[in-house]
Structure 1
Amino acid sequence: MTQLPIAIGGDHAGLPLKSVLQQVLAEAGYRLIDVGTNSAESVDYPDFAHKVARAVETGEARFGVLVCGTGIGVQIAANRHAGIRAAVLHSTTEARLTRAHNDANIACFGARTTGPELALDALRAFLATEFEGGRHARRLAKLAPNG
């Protein structure tokens, strides 16, 4: 595939789900930037959220995928970066709407709250959905500093 890669990362709690998502994305032909962790040893989720967010923020990656226990911690950490719109996803509807209306660029998942099949379905919907622009672009502009 010629598209920019997807940056993927997560903490020890997210590792089992991250591994599943990573394998399916690789099999589908996506180029991946794996920022870790790849161990069950306890690590701090912000470290990996910042790495994924920086990859998306700089344009090294088109999208990011983050996984921790609930998805909430990595979402909060990633959203501290300029231009990042990270969303915790629990359904394909949320995935489609956050891309179409919010131009989200990082999909976050909770390994303890979302099963692999649901996460895969939501991630596929996230990656397949285009931003609609229009009135949504006006609203996104208001999210920028001093917006």
Structure 2
Amino acid sequence: MKIAIGADHAGFRLKDEIVPLLKELGHEVEDFGCDCSQSVDYPDYAIPVCERVVKGEADRGILICGTGIGMSIAANKVPGIRCALVHDLFSAKATREHNDSNVLAMGERVIGPGLAQEIVRVWLETPFSQGERHVNRVNKVMAIERRQA
């Protein structure tokens, strides 16, 4: 799988923990930065990652900031993105099975690297259930996007 990843100044350290894991798991990684603690704006990193996913140039995206909140808000403004803010393993699995999320957001100030790595692993390995009720719900969300366009 090709994974696009991005972080702001409050998430770059966790990103730097996740990238080697992704490569170890056999994924191709496109890193959109940032790589420093100097204050930057999270939308500048969220949008390029999400655009790659929407265009099919990446299979999934991962975004990290201090809490994950800003990244998830910015990501979900991009039509076609279903970004889930996740800080536990149950949610990582559920958002793939039930929501077919294509972008994962996490907060470096909320979780440590060990848990973050397990979340990423679960999120990448869990398929969408294809259950009728879940497909119906995802389709309704996508219809809302089309009406807003």
> TM-score w.r.t. structure 2 length?
0.93
Equivalent residue, structure 2, for 1:137: 135
Percent sequence identity over aligned pairs? 45
Q: Distance in 2 between matches of 1:128 and 1:29?
A: 12
What SS does structure 2 have at the residue aligned with 1:143?
helix
Q: Distance in 1 between matches of 2:39 and 2:26?
A: 30
Q: Deviations over 1:2-48 (max 9, x none)?
A: x3x10000101101101000111112221001111112221100110
AA aligned opposite 2:137: R
Structure 1 window deviating more from structure 2 (23-32 vs 60-69): it is 23-32
Aligned length: 144
Equivalent residue, structure 2, for 1:31: 28
**1:16 aligned to 13, 16, 23, which one?**
13
Q: Indicate the structure with greater helix content.
A: 2
Which of structure 1's runs of 4+ aligned residues deviate more than 6 A? none
Q: How far 1:126 sits from its partner (Å)?
A: 0.3
AA aligned opposite 2:82: R
Equivalent residue, structure 1, for 2:71: 74
What SS does structure 2 have at the residue aligned with 1:142?
helix
Please give the residue correspondences for 1:1-147 in structure 2 after superposition, counting only pairs within 5 Å.
3=1, 5-133=2-130, 134-144=132-142, 145=145, 146=147
Structure 1 window deviating more from structure 2 (29-38 vs 94-103): it is 29-38
Structure 2, unmatched stretches of 5+, are: none
Q: Distance in 2 between matches of 1:47 and 1:105?
A: 19
AA aligned opposite 1:104: S
Q: Deviations over 1:57-114 (max 9, x none)?
A: 1000000000000000000000001110001111111000000000001111100001
Structure 1, unmatched stretches of 5+, are: none
Q: Distance in 2 between matches of 1:71 and 1:103?
A: 19
User: What is the RMSD computed on CA atoms of the aligned residues?
Assistant: 1.2
> TM-score w.r.t. structure 1 length?
0.94
